[in-house]
Amino acid sequence: MNNPEENILKWRFDVSTFRLIGRELITDRITALFELVKNCYDANAQNVNVEFYNVGTKNPNSKIIIRDDGLGMTLSDIKDKWMVVGTASKRKELYSPEPYKRRYVGEKGIGRFAVDKLGK
């Protein structure tokens, strides 16, 4: 008997697709950093601290640390929003939760791939 599940086609992506998104859609390192800070804003952070260590050197221990006091994500948020490339969640919910009700600045769902532009 023919199983209808076998006739359903689903998109699949190789990990290189995510690198491509990060490197091609995020045009430079400044934009990449800005995308990550926008994520902090969208998480209702009041404070964002960006620290640079040995950036611009050949030191293998160079790093950028971004810390914020924004709202974290639930497992459901991670599964249904963060793990879905290009999710429309911020287009459906235009404003962040109370108490700030900020208009979301992230809109394409690709900011998380900015780290690929910054790392090796």
CA-CA distance, 103 to 96, in Å (whole number)?
Answer: 6
Predicted confidence (pLDDT) per residue in 91-109, tens digit: 678 888 888 889 988 767 7
pTM greater than the 0.85 cutoff: no
Q: CA Rg, the chain, in Å?
A: 17
Q: Are 108 and 42 in contact (CB under 8 A)?
A: no
pLDDT tens-place values along the chain, 120 residues long: 567 667 888 888 887 887 777 777 788 889 889 989 998 999 999 999 999 999 988 899 999 999 999 998 899 988 888 888 776 666 678 888 888 889 988 767 777 888 878 876
CA-CA distance, 116 to 47, in Å (whole number)?
Answer: 24
Predicted confidence (pLDDT) per residue in 14-29, tens digit: 878 877 777 777 888 8
CA-CA distance, 90 to 107, in Å (whole number)?
Answer: 6
Instruction: Kindly list the domain boundaries of the chain, sorted by start residue.
Output: 14-44+71-118
